[in-house]
Protein backbone atom coordinates (compact mmCIF):
# COMPACT_ATOMS: atom_id res chain seq x y z
CA UNK A 1 0.00 0.00 0.00
CA UNK A 2 1.46 3.31 -1.10
CA UNK A 3 -0.05 5.37 1.73
CA UNK A 4 0.57 2.93 4.61
CA UNK A 5 3.00 4.44 7.12
CA UNK A 6 4.28 1.00 8.16
CA UNK A 7 4.92 0.02 4.53
CA UNK A 8 6.89 3.25 4.14
CA UNK A 9 8.94 2.34 7.22
CA UNK A 10 9.61 -1.15 5.79
CA UNK A 11 10.76 0.44 2.49
CA UNK A 12 13.07 2.83 4.37
CA UNK A 13 11.11 5.91 3.23
CA UNK A 14 10.42 6.85 6.86
CA UNK A 15 13.08 6.29 9.53
CA UNK A 16 12.52 4.10 12.56
CA UNK A 17 14.47 2.86 15.55
CA UNK A 18 14.88 -0.81 14.61
CA UNK A 19 15.03 -3.48 17.26
CA UNK A 20 14.80 -6.63 15.15
CA UNK A 21 14.50 -7.56 11.51
CA UNK A 22 14.42 -10.67 9.36
CA UNK A 23 13.05 -11.45 5.88
CA UNK A 24 9.41 -11.33 6.98
CA UNK A 25 9.31 -9.14 10.11
CA UNK A 26 10.36 -5.74 11.35
CA UNK A 27 10.30 -4.50 14.95
CA UNK A 28 10.90 -0.91 16.00
CA UNK A 29 10.16 1.45 18.86
CA UNK A 30 6.78 3.19 18.86
CA UNK A 31 7.06 6.99 18.47
CA UNK A 32 3.94 7.43 20.63
CA UNK A 33 4.73 4.95 23.41
CA UNK A 34 2.45 3.83 26.20
CA UNK A 35 5.64 3.26 28.23
CA UNK A 36 9.38 3.60 27.67
CA UNK A 37 10.57 0.84 25.36
CA UNK A 38 7.13 0.26 23.79
CA UNK A 39 7.84 -1.66 20.58
CA UNK A 40 5.88 -2.60 17.48
CA UNK A 41 6.29 -5.87 15.61
CA UNK A 42 4.94 -5.96 12.05
CA UNK A 43 5.02 -8.25 9.05
CA UNK A 44 6.94 -6.60 6.21
CA UNK A 45 4.18 -7.47 3.77
CA UNK A 46 1.02 -5.42 4.02
CA UNK A 47 -2.00 -7.08 5.61
CA UNK A 48 -4.79 -4.98 7.09
CA UNK A 49 -5.74 -7.27 10.00
CA UNK A 50 -4.74 -10.45 11.76
CA UNK A 51 -7.32 -12.34 9.70
CA UNK A 52 -5.47 -11.40 6.51
CA UNK A 53 -2.04 -12.53 7.74
CA UNK A 54 -1.01 -15.96 6.34
CA UNK A 55 -0.18 -18.60 8.96
CA UNK A 56 3.43 -18.93 7.79
CA UNK A 57 4.06 -15.22 8.31
CA UNK A 58 2.12 -15.19 11.57
CA UNK A 59 4.53 -17.82 12.88
CA UNK A 60 7.49 -15.59 12.01
CA UNK A 61 5.80 -12.55 13.60
CA UNK A 62 5.01 -14.53 16.75
CA UNK A 63 8.63 -15.63 17.10
CA UNK A 64 9.75 -12.01 16.74
CA UNK A 65 7.24 -10.86 19.37
CA UNK A 66 8.67 -13.41 21.79
CA UNK A 67 12.28 -12.33 21.05
CA UNK A 68 11.48 -8.62 21.52
CA UNK A 69 9.50 -9.25 24.72
CA UNK A 70 12.28 -11.40 26.20
CA UNK A 71 14.92 -8.78 25.37
CA UNK A 72 12.73 -6.05 26.84
CA UNK A 73 12.43 -7.94 30.12
CA UNK A 74 16.20 -8.19 30.59
CA UNK A 75 17.43 -5.01 28.91
CA UNK A 76 15.20 -2.24 30.23
CA UNK A 77 15.59 -1.07 33.84
CA UNK A 78 12.81 -1.99 36.22
CA UNK A 79 10.62 -3.83 33.72
CA UNK A 80 8.51 -6.35 35.63
CA UNK A 81 6.20 -7.55 32.88
CA UNK A 82 4.75 -6.70 29.51
CA UNK A 83 1.52 -6.62 27.53
CA UNK A 84 1.08 -7.82 23.98
CA UNK A 85 -1.69 -5.79 22.37
CA UNK A 86 -3.12 -6.26 18.89
CA UNK A 87 -6.25 -4.54 17.53
CA UNK A 88 -8.28 -5.22 14.40
CA UNK A 89 -10.43 -2.59 12.69
CA UNK A 90 -11.13 0.96 13.79
CA UNK A 91 -13.89 0.02 16.25
CA UNK A 92 -11.33 -2.07 18.18
CA UNK A 93 -8.78 0.75 18.27
CA UNK A 94 -6.67 -0.09 15.20
CA UNK A 95 -5.21 3.22 14.03
CA UNK A 96 -2.83 2.02 11.29
CA UNK A 97 -4.48 -0.44 8.88
CA UNK A 98 -1.41 -2.71 8.75
CA UNK A 99 -1.47 -5.61 11.19
CA UNK A 100 0.87 -4.90 14.09
CA UNK A 101 1.55 -6.05 17.61
CA UNK A 102 2.48 -3.81 20.54
CA UNK A 103 5.01 -5.05 23.08
CA UNK A 104 4.45 -2.74 26.05
CA UNK A 105 6.88 -2.92 28.98
CA UNK A 106 5.22 -2.69 32.39
CA UNK A 107 6.36 -1.39 35.75
CA UNK A 108 4.50 -1.58 39.04
CA UNK A 109 2.34 1.53 39.51
CA UNK A 110 2.92 2.67 35.90
CA UNK A 111 -0.69 3.93 35.66
CA UNK A 112 -1.39 2.03 32.41
CA UNK A 113 -4.76 0.32 32.43
CA UNK A 114 -5.94 -2.28 29.96
CA UNK A 115 -8.75 -3.52 32.19
CA UNK A 116 -12.42 -3.70 31.33
CA UNK A 117 -15.54 -4.03 33.37
CA UNK A 118 -16.13 -7.72 33.83
CA UNK A 119 -19.58 -9.01 33.09
CA UNK A 120 -21.30 -12.20 34.17
CA UNK A 121 -22.46 -14.78 31.65
CA UNK A 122 -24.92 -17.57 32.28
CA UNK A 123 -23.95 -21.06 31.15
CA UNK A 124 -26.79 -21.24 28.59
CA UNK A 125 -25.62 -17.99 27.01
CA UNK A 126 -22.04 -19.30 26.87
CA UNK A 127 -23.24 -22.50 25.20
CA UNK A 128 -25.23 -20.47 22.63
CA UNK A 129 -22.22 -18.35 21.64
CA UNK A 130 -19.91 -21.37 21.65
CA UNK A 131 -22.15 -23.16 19.16
CA UNK A 132 -22.29 -20.09 16.90
CA UNK A 133 -18.49 -19.73 16.86
CA UNK A 134 -17.60 -23.42 16.70
CA UNK A 135 -19.73 -23.78 13.60
CA UNK A 136 -17.58 -21.23 11.77
CA UNK A 137 -14.10 -22.44 12.78
CA UNK A 138 -12.26 -23.79 9.75
Residues labelled as active-site residues: 100
DSSP 19-56: EEE-SSEEEEE-SS-SSTT-EEEEESS--SSGGGS-HH
Q: Do the beta carbons of residue 102 and residue 83 sit within 8 Å?
A: yes
Q: Is 16 helix (H, G, I), strand (E, B) or coil?
A: coil
Amino acid sequence: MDECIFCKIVKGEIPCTKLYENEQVLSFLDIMPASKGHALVIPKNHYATLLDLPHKELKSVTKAIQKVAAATMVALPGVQGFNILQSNHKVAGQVVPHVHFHVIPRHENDKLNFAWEQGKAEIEELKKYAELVKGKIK
